[in-house]
Amino acid sequence: MAATIEDTATTTSTAARAEGPRRRSGIGPLLLTTLTWIVAVGFFFPVLWMVLTAFKTEAAAYTDPPTLVFTPTLEQFRAVFDAGIGPYLANSLFATVVSTLLVLVLATPAAFAVSLRPVEKTQDVLFFFISTKMLPVVAAIVPIYVVVNEIGALDNIWTLIVLYTAMNLPIAVWMMRSFFLEVPKELLEAASIDGASLGRTLREVVLPIISPGIFATALICVIFAWNEFFFAVNLTAANAGTVPVFLVGFISSEGLYWARLSAAATLAALPVVLAGWFAQNKLVQGLSFGAVK
Amino acid sequence: MTTTLERPAAPPPASPNTTSSRSARTEGWVRRAPLLPALVFTIVVTQIPFLLTLWYSLQSWNLVRPGSQHFVWFQNYVAVFADSQFRTVALNTIVMTLGSVLIAVVLGLLLALLLDRHFIGRGVVRTLLVTPFLITPVAAALLWKTTLLDPTYGLINFVLGGQTFDWVSQFPLASVMAALVWQWTPFMMLLLLAGLQSMPGDQVEAARVDGAGAWSIFVELTLPHLRRFLELGIVLGAIYLVNTFDAVYMITQGGPGTASANLPFYIYQRAFLGFDIGQSAAMGVVVVILTIIVATFALRLVFRSFGAAGGES
């Protein structure tokens, strides 16, 4: 599809160039491209600024006009690790990886059941999964806090893991369902005619086709779990706190610590930005529950 | 889809009737089994808290006064609706959600149109534009509060000619929304770009041959085609943004007063700073009811979109 659009674009521009009177369109695209680049860099600039500031000294971070040329230093990153971001990073990593694995373990068979071997009321089940994403988390936080407190699981990383798994499961089921539906029926039929068992069909026919989809789903779950803040700030403290909880420390200290703050923010954002760059083609599919490919 | 798949799974015709009906029932459970763990997990973790919220909302219960818990029927709801701050905050939530979503959709549409062309570095530009959406919201909010909106050293004031306007205290709600719009515009762009690229090229080509100008092609062909994607963007954006907490917490703490507080933040304050379990639960229920109204509409839209996107449903 993209190819056809690009084809038409090139043919029209060559056609326009060939015509004498519409020479304007020769400079038009160039202007548009320049504009696009300016806008893109503008949108990206706060991120770039964060990364640049992370490599400054505090003195260089507070200048008017802002400093663009400076000698980069790792001082701030060292300071952030000295301030103890390490355990928070480890907690984030653990909660993200374990919850994502749990989501995959639960969602893959579920998605299989609602796509390739639909049972009765499949539609209702799908409806239920998606509806849990639409109920505001804030309405559940009070009982969650009370229950978690009662069973002595406050400030415990497994509490977050359970909640993150529940948070991402509906998205994963929907996303994976859309990948399962892309498996050609003919292949499945052929496998069953050849007498392959269900397990073998799944392993040797379905899995290779949907593994990019599983990977994309995992990346989406990683992004959401890593960035989650509401549960983390209300249910964890020094023991099980994740990176976003660590960042909260910077709003209470109103002092001049922008360079250090930027270093911490860079560390917090980096894993997800990388995951997201890889998954950018699938981001919309994940967030729209598979509605848009 | 369903029929072709069921055929090979049907019980073998040779087997006697009784076994076949029993094996059909077993077959049903075999088919359902892979679904059950996920379903049970989701029900336990997401539905029980909501039932408890309903139960708590009918009680007077403050964590600071142990033993104060007792049943009060709908008193909490009466208190919630009599609370003028709750009304302010509800209004803020609507302004914040709809305002951010609509601005992000318009900006996202403009960006998608810019990107729906063949030009040098398109992939790089898209990657740059996607990035704000990926930045951890707490980190993004910190950036906006400090390096961007700070009155003295903030980049925004520098770009605007070195003034020292205090955005966060003068326009707290708008400051929060700026961060939200910055983060959500890329999502809208990706969604609408997917919409633009699913547009049949020959239609546009035909219109162009007929001598239609760029504007009339946009209004008469592109916009109607994008309608579904625009609706989806608005609905999904609203679902995610109505839960905004990070940006409010980090940039303004809801202040000054309740000027920039939204419902999630206000409920958080009531529950975790005021320890008023009953009232915060009642507010939670009100939010759920409001959300259900929006979500019914949203679900229908997602299902319709999904059906149209080529899946079976």
Q: How far is B16 from chain A (nearest CA, A)?
A: 22
Count of helices and strands (H, E) across chain A: 14, 0
Name the phi and psi angles at A153, rounded to 5.
-110, 20
Please write the tens of the pLDDT for every residue from A154-192: 999 999 999 999 999 998 998 898 888 888 888 888 888
Q: What is the 3-state secondary structure (H, E, C) of A45-90?
A: HHHHHHHHHHCCCHHHHCCCCCCCCCCCCCHHHHHHHHCCHHHHHH
Reply yes or no: is the peptide bond before residue B256 cis, omega within 30 of 0.
Answer: yes
Average pLDDT (B110-116) is: 93
* B119 → closest Cβ in A36, A50, A293: A36
Please write the tens of the pLDDT for every residue from B237-248: 888 898 899 999
Count of helices and strands (H, E) across chain B: 17, 2
Mean pLDDT is lowest, of A45-49, A254-258, B12-16, B114-118, for B12-16
Per-residue pLDDT at B30 exceeds 90: no
Per-residue pLDDT at B5 exceeds 80: no
Question: What pLDDT does residue A40 have?
Answer: 94
Are B309 and A175 contacting, i.e. CB atoms less than 8 angstroms apart? no
User: With contacts defined as CB-CB under 8 Å, which chain A residues touch B199?
Assistant: 5
* B263 → closest Cβ in A62, A138, A273: A138
d(CA B71, CA B69): 7
d(CA B246, CA B133): 14
Closest CA to B63 of B311, B279, B287: B279
Which of A108, A251, A258, A292 would you mutate first to test chain B, the one with the most B CBs within 10 A?
A: A292
Are A33 and B118 contacting, i.e. CB atoms less than 8 angstroms apart? no
* B272 → closest Cβ in A106, A132, A234: A234
Which residues 6+ apart lie within 8 Å of A73 measured at CB? Answer: A55, A56, A57
User: With contacts defined as CB-CB under 8 Å, which chain B residues touch A133?
Assistant: 239
Question: What pLDDT does residue B19 have?
Answer: 54
Name the phi and psi angles at B62, rounded to 5.
-120, 125
Start-end of CATH 1.10.3720.10 domains in chain B: 75-308
ipTM of the complex: 0.84
The answer for A 184-203 residues in CB contact with B (under 8 A) is 185, 188-189, 192-193
d(CA B259, CA B254): 6
Q: How far is A140 from chain B (nearest CA, A)?
A: 5
Q: How far is B14 from chain A (nearest CA, A)?
A: 18
d(CA B15, CA B30): 19
Closest CA to B243 of A227, A206, A248: A227
Question: What pLDDT does residue B20 have?
Answer: 59
Per-residue pLDDT at A271 exceeds 80: yes
Question: What pLDDT does residue A134 have?
Answer: 78
| Domains of chain A, each with CATH number or no CATH | 2-77 (no CATH), 81-287 (1.10.3720.10)
Per-residue pLDDT at A22 exceeds 90: no
Per-residue pLDDT at A67 exceeds 70: yes
Query: Is the Cβ of A82 closer than 8 Å to some Cβ of chain B?
Result: no
Name the phi and psi angles at B276, rounded to 5.
-90, 90
d(CA B178, CA B107): 12
Residue B10 confidence class, pLDDT cut points 50, 70, 90: very low
Please write the tens of the pLDDT for every residue from A229-249: 999 999 998 899 999 999 998
User: With contacts defined as CB-CB under 8 Å, which chain B residues touch A168?
Assistant: none
Mean pLDDT is lowest, of A53-67, A97-111, A218-232, B140-154, for A53-67
Quick one: closest CA in A to B146, which residue?
Answer: A258
Question: What pLDDT does residue A287 have?
Answer: 76
User: With contacts defined as CB-CB under 8 Å, which chain A residues touch B202?
Assistant: 8
Top-confidence range, A63-67, B112-116, B286-290: B112-116
Mark yes or no for CB contact B147/A130 under 8 Å.
no
Are A76 and A55 contacting, i.e. CB atoms less than 8 angstroms apart? yes
Question: What pLDDT does residue B21 have?
Answer: 67
* Residue A187: C-alpha distances to residues A205, B9, B120, B200 (Å): 7, 15, 40, 29
d(CA B226, CA B155): 35
Question: What pLDDT does residue A16 have?
Answer: 39
Quick one: closest CA in A to B250, which residue?
Answer: A251
Mean of the per-residue pLDDT values for chain B? 83
Per-residue pLDDT at A7 exceeds 50: no
Query: Is the Cβ of A289 closer than 8 Å to some Cβ of chain B?
Result: yes
Q: The domain at B75-308 falls in which architecture?
A: Orthogonal Bundle (1.10)
Mean pLDDT is lowest, of A131-140, A214-223, A283-292, B222-231, for A283-292
Exposed/middle/buried for B112, CB within 10 Å: 0-12, 13-18, 19+? buried
The percent of residues above 70 in pLDDT, for chain B, comes to 89
User: With contacts defined as CB-CB under 8 Å, which chain B residues touch A50?
Assistant: 139, 143, 147
Q: Which two tokens stand for residue A73?
A: 């230093």
Average pLDDT (A238-263) is: 85
Which of B2, B31, B35 would you mutate first to test chain A, the one with the most A CBs within 10 A?
A: B35
Question: What pLDDT does residue B158 have?
Answer: 87
Residue B61 confidence class, pLDDT cut points 50, 70, 90: confident
Question: What pLDDT does residue B312 have?
Answer: 38
d(CA A51, CA A277): 17
Q: Provide the terminal-to-terminal Cα distance of chain A, rounded to the nearest Å.
A: 12
Mark yes or no for CB contact B2/A118 under 8 Å.
yes
Mean pLDDT is lowest, of B88-92, B127-131, B161-165, for B161-165
- Residue-wise DSSP of B9-21: HSPPTTS-HHHHH
Question: What pLDDT does residue B76 have?
Answer: 86
Per-residue pLDDT at A254 exceeds 70: no
Residue B112 confidence class, pLDDT cut points 50, 70, 90: very high
Question: What pLDDT does residue B120 have?
Answer: 87
Mark yes or no for CB contact A288/B190 under 8 Å.
no
Average pLDDT (B208-237) is: 88
Question: What pLDDT does residue B303 have?
Answer: 67
Helix (H) or strand (E) holding B102: helix B84-115
Query: Is the Cβ of A101 closer than 8 Å to some Cβ of chain B?
Result: no
* A136 → closest Cβ in B41, B264, B281: B264
Please write the tens of the pLDDT for every residue from B242-279: 889 999 999 999 888 889 999 999 999 988 888 888 88
Please write the tens of the pLDDT for every residue from B62-84: 877 777 777 878 888 888 888 88
Question: What pLDDT does residue A2 have?
Answer: 39
In a 3-state reduction of DSSP, which class is residue A62? Answer: coil
Question: What pLDDT does residue B13 have?
Answer: 43
Average pLDDT (A247-269) is: 84
* Residue B269: C-alpha distances to residues A21, B82, B96, B266, B280 (Å): 66, 18, 18, 5, 9
Identify any residues that bridge with A113 across adjacent strands, giving them in sequence order.
Answer: none
Question: What pLDDT does residue A200 have?
Answer: 83
The percent of residues above 70 in pLDDT, for chain A, comes to 89
Per-residue pLDDT at B7 exceeds 80: no
Per-residue pLDDT at B309 exceeds 70: no
Question: What pLDDT does residue A138 have?
Answer: 85
Residue with tokens 């799908």, as numbered in its chain: A126
Q: Buried b / exposed e across A277-290, counting CB within 10 Å, b at 16+? A: eebbebbbbbbbbb
Mark yes or no for CB contact A1/B182 under 8 Å.
no
Question: What pLDDT does residue A253 have?
Answer: 59
